[in-house]
Amino acid sequence: MSTIPGIDPSVPPSGAGCADCDAAGGWWLHLRRCAQCGHVGCCDSSPAQHASAHAASAGHPIVQSYEPGEDWFWNYPVESYLDHGPTLAPPVSHPVDQTVPGPADRVPPNWQAMLH
């Protein structure tokens, strides 16, 4: 098991979409998974930036991309990528048939103008 602070490989992700956007009826561009508690949040280009908000409020420093085919880790406090990290509990990305941006039924026609 990992000894990297901020990473618990045994915790599964919270769901297929941003937990906070799903609660609020929002939408996202890309998804990030908290490597400590499994919270799935939206990226800093998304309207609500829930992943970084979670990192700040919960004090959980590291996320992994939750996009299919991506396995990089980002450390918010030091603003850099990790050189390597453990394999987290599956699934390691949202479903491949889930749209980007998503979810499809909540993305507005002018979504590109709403990105950060």
Binding residues for Zn ion (CB under 5 A): 18, 20-21, 28, 34, 36-37, 39, 42, 48, 50, 58, 60
Q: Which amino acid is residue 17, in one-letter code?
A: G
Taking CA atoms, 32 is separated from 18, 65, 96, in Å, by 8, 5, 15
Based on CB atoms, which residue is closest to Zn ion, 20 or 67?
Answer: 20
CB of 84 to Zn ion, least distance (A): 20
CB of 83 to Zn ion, least distance (A): 21
Q: Angle at the Cα of 18 (from 39 to 38), degrees rounded to 5? A: 15
Based on CB atoms, which residue is closest to Zn ion, 1 or 23?
Answer: 23
